[in-house]
Chains A and B, each alone.
Chain A
């Protein structure tokens, strides 16, 4: 009998201990989790998000504890990972890819107390908010540089998929170029992928073969930069500074700084002021869109021009989608002095004047 009592006693002690552990967890640091599409070393999209996570840790110190899971595909796996993170006691979860939308909403419904943040999404809920950078602001500024640097007046754009946000980037890019060089035209090639270095490189070579001498891209790999470097042409990167892949070719990059947003949201959760059903879009003003250092090849007067426009866009005194804007069939889309309606901005499926071809439907 005594043996069994001892065992029972141990079991009781174990139960008590685990209860104590649970109690400690509730009072401990806020657990914040990040779900990444790629590896943290991808040198692009995921890398920037992880910089944001590290910035958050630095800013919040011991008040929080972060974890991340990398290489999470946009499939049923995402749902499993999100559910696991929620079950593990994470109170705030950042899902950093568009394709996590449906799995995230499903898990969010099952864990109403957990707060979910979804990048680039468009569906919100009481415990789900969305956030995204205004990428086209960066593309407009890069367009200015491109218009000044091109010799052939032909620019190239390697697109991922012809969705409104990407079409908007291409349009902003050529609007920027035409503002300083009305003769410039833009060729667009859709690679039908976010990340396929081989295909992105072929797309870059095709564009250069057809006369483009300054390339931009919204695909994720540095293959386009490498191709431009090999051919002695120029290129812009997205997400991260990719100058190490092409020190001569890389003019600048439109990158993202996620830290401020992550800190703001985490503080709101701790303060209890976090609310759902919000959609945040931040750009140059909030410094979520940040320009990487410019190549020395960019002349000083162009740097100044870009800086001036950056200030003007940030303080709201300049809107590049302000009229008059014609599409590339000559139809007027925005009248002189008018503004582009938000709905048209969000669902843009036409090219502005200066882009060749038409948006694949």
Chain B
């Protein structure tokens, strides 16, 4: 087996939770809402998914529970920012802090318990193919779920009527409101969708990537997902590409050490973050890409009036 196969496999597993969280946030931001609470929603999703799987023995139920918990968190955010017009940045930060604390509190007695993890899917014929089978057809179901989600989000944003409406709201909620689109309702739905995918991302961490619960186990992945949305300039395809790139650099630094490359460990662990900064700088050099794709009303509250 080529040593590159496990490298690709680790990259995919590392990128999958980022894809779920970042695609959800793309939808949220496209509706004009900035939710900085991904990290908190992920952690609550992680503990909910872990607890549900531990209780039922069914990973599927765990993901449903994770999504539900993430949605509930997002609902709090939606009520505060959309209905009560609180500041989105401050509320998002509060949501993250709340999620970190809540998940630690709820999960206190669950730390240190093992889960069996999730079996990979086997496709007839395809999985047994040499190389291609190993590279593409032996992951857990959620990896394929993340690809399906990508296609769905792309279709929704670029091809569907509802997606067009939502983008209009993100550009100018006042105009969308005046021609009769339900701004508040659609923003609620978008925020809740983002909560559900963040919850799934969290559940992926505690059920598949490392099947166990540990306090603060998302280790900043929620913030990376947030950066990926800007990194991908609000385009789902690029967001996913960014997630794989980020996962790849993380794995690459470990791989380089394993083959005995003499690079300082601190430098290597800095690499993924440095790469993010570099790409962000490159993107920002061309203001047009940002302006074209960034929702014009991002982060601003909307008063529907009477």
Binding site for B on A (CB under 8 A): 38-39, 41-44, 47, 71, 156, 161-162, 187-192, 195-203, 205-211, 221-223, 226, 230, 244-245, 356-358, 360-361
Contacts and interface: CB of A to CB of B under 8 A. Distances in A.
Nearest to B111: A41
Contact of B210 (A211, A226, A357, A358): A226
B250 A199 contact: yes
Closest 5 pairs (CB-CB, A-B): A209-B6, A43-B112, A357-B260, A197-B210, A41-B111
B217 interface: yes
Interface of B: 1, 3, 5-7, 9-10, 14, 104, 108-112, 114, 117, 205, 209-212, 214-215, 217, 219, 221, 250-251, 254-255, 257-266, 268-269
A203 B209 contact: no
A239 to B, nearest CB: 12
22 contacts: A39-B111, A41-B112, A43-B112, A44-B112, A189-B257, A189-B258, A190-B257, A192-B265, A192-B266, A192-B268, A197-B209, A197-B212, A198-B14, A198-B209, A198-B217, A198-B219, A199-B250, A200-B210, A202-B254, A206-B6, A210-B259, A226-B212
B260 A187 contact: yes
Contacts of A190: 257, 265, 268
A190 to B, nearest CB: 4
A197 B265 contact: no
A188 B214 contact: no
A199 B214 CA distance: 13
Nearest to B119: A230
The winner among B215, B250, B254, B255 for most chain A CB atoms within 10 A is B254
Contacts of B262: 357-358, 360
A360 B265 contact: yes
A22 to B, nearest CB: 34
Contact of A39 (B108, B212, B268): B108
Given A245-B114, A245-B212, A209 B257 contact: no
A226 B112 contact: no
Contacts of A222: 114, 212
A195 B214 contact: yes
